[in-house]
Structure 1
Amino acid sequence: MRVTADLEKAAIKEWLDSGDCYIISLAGKVHLPTCDSMGRFVDRDSAWGLNFRFPERLLGEGPDADPIPIWPILRTRAQIESLPSCTPWPLCAPMPVAPEKRFGANSWTYLRARSLNSKHFGTEFRLAEGTLLGALTKISTVETIDGFDFTAEFEHAEAPITDPDTEMMYRTGMRALAKQQSWTATAPLMTGCGS
């Protein structure tokens, strides 16, 4: 764990030293790396802290299992500007964003492939840099003698995604909400389901 944390700290330091560094939160907001809300991701000692104190968390034992701390989604300004839309976090105000780049009807939600589940079937995905993958069609995690083999298949992808840490995004916002609401209006009433 400590070797991994040290490698991550070196990578973050190199990123910060470049001077051209922004973070996209899981909510899709653009932050400066010095933003207080990003501290728990940027400070790798803090990110790994509970695992250092309670190594059994890495074994996936018990209700507090949390094997790998989240790695921040790091981007340069050019990468941020190439996104179809983005919203700066108002508390750290990382960069001015043109009105057509703001979230609204065409916003994006970012996640790692490991977070995919059955609710994402049929959702059209792109890699974080914009490459179209298409609709999610299949997810599988197979336990082998060497660990777990992860696979996610998409309608237009040339090959399945096998790295569970692959960053991807899907469109959310007003259009997606309208689509979901129209499905809900025509679907049979279901109780006891959370979102």
Structure 2
Amino acid sequence: MKQQDKIFEYLNKNGGQITAKGANSMGVSSRILRNMYAHGQLERLAPGVYIDPLEFGDDIAALQYNLSKGVFFKDTALFLYGMIDRTPSTYEMNFPLPYAYSTKKDAPIKIYRQKKELYEIGMTTTKTPGGHLVNVYDVERTLCDIIRTRDRSDAETIKQAMNSYARQKKKNLRQLMAYARIFKVEDEIRKYMEVLL
């Protein structure tokens, strides 16, 4: 099988997206990717991230590919869960201390860093609107994050997220209260839940 055919097969199986790292793991040189890009057979979404030109780009997945230790956080997590009705203009990601990250200054991203033991709490994955799996915090952890006093989300976002959670069938209130104790927002979470449930 020709290297280009391997790439097209990979694109078909992976939502139209391939990274230089992914190509390398199949024994395909990143030079082939660059050549396909130069001939209009691929589009470059970000450094080392390419997509089928017929596919729509997925900014969130591209950020995850570039910043693999990052976990989508706060309002971005709410958006991924469909709990708020607007697309964030800036994506929020959390990283473990002392992780050194590098990102282009023009990337629409706000970076947070946390002690490793807090960074790991509630970590899971979900799909982007483009169908790619990315790292995100679970819903219960996200609700605690948006009401923490440091860099808290706006009142309308909090209200919308809490109402959305109250309507969900798969709530884990025990988990929510456990996180609330860890992140020191127990009183506020309890007030919201008493009003809404």
Same fold (TM > 0.5): no
TM-score band w.r.t. shorter chain: under 0.3
- In terms of fraction of residues, the more strand-rich structure is 1
Taking structure 2 as the reference length, the TM-score comes to 0.26
Taking structure 1 as the reference length, the TM-score comes to 0.26
